C-alpha cells in the first residue's frame, strides 16, 4: 500500500470518529439514587450522617413511604428519610444521628423506584467529614474554624391548624451576621450591539440578600408553594 493510500485511510478513520453524545433525559421511568453527603461531628460527641438523593427522572415525582422500597438499615425502615422525591439532584435532605461510639459501623439507605433499587452507605470515613458551613453554602466553600463568618439562622412560625385542600401560610424569619459583606449591586449599561446587550435580567441591579427555598420532603400528596413575601 502506498503512502498516499495510508494517509487516505487514516483521514477517513479520523473523520469517522464518533462525536460527543448528548446526555439523554428521561421524563419518567428511572431510578432514585440516594446519596451520602458526609458526616458532621456534634459538640456532644455524636455524629450526624447527612444524606441527599438524585431522582434521575427529569419530571416524574415519586411518593415512596418507609418500607421495603424506602428503607434505612439498621433500625429501619423509618429513620426520618424523605418519602417524596423531587426531580433531579436534591442535596442535604436529612440527617441521621448516630452515637459517639458508632466507630466503623455503617448505615444503608435503599430506595426502589420504577423497579430498580439503589443504595447509599453512610459511615465515618475521615474523607467524608463535612461541616455545617458546607451544608449552609450548598457545598460551595468550607472555611476554617477560625473564620468569623457564621451561617444564617432560620425560625419557622408554628402552624396552628391545617385542612386538606385549604392553603396554609408559612412564615419564616432568616437572619445573618452580615459576613462577608454583600457584594455591591452591579448595573449594566450595554452599548448598542455590545456583548452586554441582553434582556435576561442579569446585571439589572436587583437587590441581593438571603433567599428561602421551600421543598416537599414527605407525604403522598403534591404540595405547591407560592412565594407570597419577599426574601431580603
**In angstroms, what CA-CA distances link 206 with 85, 149, 183, 226?**
32, 24, 12, 20
Q: Which residue has the higher pLDDT, 221 or 129?
A: 129
Q: What integer is the mean pLDDT of 60-76?
A: 95
Distances from the Cα of 191 to the Cαs of 55, 172, 176, 197, 214, in angstroms?
43, 41, 37, 7, 39
Q: What average pLDDT does this structure show over 96-111?
A: 97
pLDDT band at 167 (very low <50, low <70, confident <90, very high): confident
Question: What rounded mean pLDDT belongs to the chain?
Answer: 79
| pLDDT at residue 8, as a whole number | 47
3-state secondary structure of 132: helix
- What the block records as the C-alpha cell of 160 is 396552628
Cα 73 to Cα 62, 85, 91, 164: the distances in Å are 21, 19, 20, 33
Q: Enter the C-alpha cell of residue 223.
A: 404540595
Instruction: Give 101 or 23, the one with higher predicted confidence.
Output: 101
pLDDT attached to residue 213? 73
**Three-point CA angle 206, 210, 216, nearest 5°:** 115
If you average pLDDT over residues 197-206, what whole number do you get?
46
Q: Is 64's pLDDT higher than 90?
A: yes
Q: Quick one: pLDDT at residue 208?
A: 61
C-alpha distances in Å from residue 26, one per residue of 54, 61, 119: 13, 12, 21
pLDDT higher for 90 or 231?
A: 90
Phi, psi angles (nearest 5°) of residue 14? -65, -45
Of the pLDDT bands very low, low, confident and very high (cuts 50, 70, 90), residue 107 is: very high
Say if residue 197's pLDDT is above 50. no
Looking at residue 54, its pLDDT comes to: 96
Domain ranges of the chain: 32-136
Looking at residue 28, what is its pLDDT?
95
Could you read off the pLDDT of 120-164 as tens digits, one per residue? 999 999 999 998 878 877 666 555 555 666 767 778 888 878 788
0.85 exceeded by pTM: no
Whether 70 shows a pLDDT value over 90: the answer reads: yes
Q: For residue 229, what pLDDT is reported?
A: 58
Contact (Cβ atoms closer than 8 angstroms) between residue 213 and residue 91: no
Amino acid at each position: 500500500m502506498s503512502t498516499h493510500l495510508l494517509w487516505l485511510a487514516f483521514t477517513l478513520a479520523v473523520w469517522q470518529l464518533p462525536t460527543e453524545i448528548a446526555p439523554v433525559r428521561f421524563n419518567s421511568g428511572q431510578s432514585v439514587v440516594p446519596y451520602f453527603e458526609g458526616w458532621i461531628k456534634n459538640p456532644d460527641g455524636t455524629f450526624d450522617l447527612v444524606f441527599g438523593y438524585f431522582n434521575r427522572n427529569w419530571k416524574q415525582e415519586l411518593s415512596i413511604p418507609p418500607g421495603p422500597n424506602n428503607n434505612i438499615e439498621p433500625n429501619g425502615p423509618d429513620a426520618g428519610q424523605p418519602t417524596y422525591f423531587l426531580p433531579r439532584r436534591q442535596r442535604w435532605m436529612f440527617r441521621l444521628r448516630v452515637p459517639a461510639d458508632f466507630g466503623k459501623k455503617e448505615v444503608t439507605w435503599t430506595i426502589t423506584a420504577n423497579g430498580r433499587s439503589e443504595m447509599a452507605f453512610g459511615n465515618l470515613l475521615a474523607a467524608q467529614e463535612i461541616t455545617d458551613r458546607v451544608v449552609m453554602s450548598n457545598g460551595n466553600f468550607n472555611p476554617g474554624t477560625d473564620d468569623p463568618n457564621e451561617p444564617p439562622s432560620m425560625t419557622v412560625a408554628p402552624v396552628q391548624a391545617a385542612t386538606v385542600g385549604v392553603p396554609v401560610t408559612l412564615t419564616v424569619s432568616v437572619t445573618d451576621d452580615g459576613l462577608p459583606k454583600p457584594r455591591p449591586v452591579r448595573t449594566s449599561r450595554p452599548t448598542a450591539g455590545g456583548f452586554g446587550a441582553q434582556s435576561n435580567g442579569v446585571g439589572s441591579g436587583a437587590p441581593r440578600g438571603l433567599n428561602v427555598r421551600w421543598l416537599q420532603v414527605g407525604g403522598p400528596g403534591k404540595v405547591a408553594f407560592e412565594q407570597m413575601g419577599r426574601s431580603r
